[in-house]
């Protein structure tokens, strides 16, 4: 599951990001409302975890603008503002659920998944191109009748490429999707992981699916 976390608290943000990554999710962390809005508007997320008290643009403003622009990604608002008026305001702005701080991490994860299951624009459960298949629920990957064992990082790269099948995904977009916003990952590190992924997905004797756009990024497509 691809999760956008919009949280400016320097302690809370990384904790949420780490907890979700340990659950096997791909996480992007934004630290202000404007950045969160732009990421949500231009990327494909399964669910958004959105704080209310944010610099630049608060959570109410973020979700309201997203709904105005036709973005229906499910949103769970997270805040210490627990009055009935605040909760009603959040829901009326377009949020799907509202969780107040403090909270148990197990409750947060359960509520986040419940919100994601309601869906906005439905996400594909199975991603495929040619004879390559990735099941986002079981995290199983196969090519033809051959099962492919991937590391978490390799899986994240492949899922991002498949969600953008036929389009070039820049190195920055891949790093942000797999390692997180503001991650200090060198391009050479990404290239190494793509090389390892290629050895598993595109072994000798099988048609090449993962392609390099030199100086830009990578894509997954069928060559005709």
pLDDT value at residue 218: 96
146 and 97 fall within a common domain: no
CATH code, domain carrying 56: 3.40.50.2300
**Domain carrying residue 190:** 126-220
13 and 104 fall within a common domain: yes
* Single residue among 101, 118, 135 that ends a domain in this structure: 118
Helical (H) or strand (E) element with 134:
strand 132-135
Strand-by-strand arrangement of the 26-30 sheet: 26-30, 2-6, 47-51, 75-79, 97-100
Residues 88, 22: Cα–Cα separation, whole Å = 32
pLDDT-based confidence at residue 145 (cuts at 50, 70, 90): very high
72 and 132 fall within a common domain: no
Helical (H) or strand (E) element with 133:
strand 132-135
Residues 204, 215: Cα–Cα separation, whole Å = 25
113 and 6 fall within a common domain: yes
| Encoded tokens for 140 | 């199983």
- Total domains in the chain come to 2
Q: Is the pLDDT of residue 116 over 90?
A: no
7 and 75 fall within a common domain: yes
**For 26-80, what is each residue's pLDDT tens digit?**
889 999 999 999 999 888 888 999 998 899 899 889 998 998 888 888 999 887 7
CATH code, domain carrying 181: 1.10.10.10
pLDDT-based confidence at residue 187 (cuts at 50, 70, 90): confident
Q: Is the pLDDT of residue 147 over 60?
A: yes
| Encoded tokens for 106 | 């197990």
151 and 75 fall within a common domain: no
Left (φ > 0), alpha (ψ -120 to 50) or beta: where does 45 sit?
beta
Tell me what percent of the residues of the chain surpass a pLDDT of 90: 38
Residues 71, 158: Cα–Cα separation, whole Å = 24
* Single residue among 91, 118, 145 that ends a domain in this structure: 118
Q: At what angle do helices 12-22 and 105-118 cross, to 10 degrees?
A: 70
Across the range 186-197, mean pLDDT stands at: 93
pLDDT value at residue 182: 62
13 and 106 fall within a common domain: yes
71 and 110 fall within a common domain: yes
167 and 192 fall within a common domain: yes
203 and 139 fall within a common domain: yes
pLDDT value at residue 99: 85
Residues 88, 92: Cα–Cα separation, whole Å = 6
Across the range 145-150, mean pLDDT stands at: 94
102 and 133 fall within a common domain: no
Q: Is the pLDDT of residue 123 over 60?
A: no
* Single residue among 84, 118, 152 that ends a domain in this structure: 118
pLDDT value at residue 175: 86
36 and 14 fall within a common domain: yes
């Amino acid at each position: 599951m691809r999760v956008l976390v919009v949280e400016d608290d320097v302690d809370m943000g990384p904790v949420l990001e780490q907890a979700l990554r340990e659950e096997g999710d791909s996480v992007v962390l934004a630290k202000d409302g404007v950045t969160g809005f732009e990421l949500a508007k231009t990327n494909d997320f399964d669910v958004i975890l959105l704080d209310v008290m944010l610099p630049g643009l608060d959570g109410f403003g973020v979700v309201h603008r997203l709904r105005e622009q036709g973005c229906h990604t499910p949103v769970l608002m997270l805040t210490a503002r627990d009055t009935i008026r605040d909760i009603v305001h959040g829901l009326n702005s377009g949020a799907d659920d509202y969780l107040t701080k403090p909270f148990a991490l197990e409750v947060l994860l359960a509520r986040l998944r419940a919100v994601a299951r309601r869906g906005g624009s439905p996400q594909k459960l199975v991603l495929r191109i040619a004879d390559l298949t990735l099941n986002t629920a079981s995290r199983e990957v196969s090519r033809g009748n051959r099962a492919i064992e991937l590391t978490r990082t390799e899986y994240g790269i492949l899922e991002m490429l498949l969600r953008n099948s036929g389009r070039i995904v820049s190195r920055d977009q891949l790093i942000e999707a797999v390692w997180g916003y503001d991650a200090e990952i060198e391009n050479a590190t990404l290239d190494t992981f793509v090389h390892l992924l290629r050895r598993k997905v595109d072994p000798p004797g099988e048609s090449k699916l993962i392609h390099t756009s030199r100086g830009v990024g990578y894509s997954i497509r069928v060559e005709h």
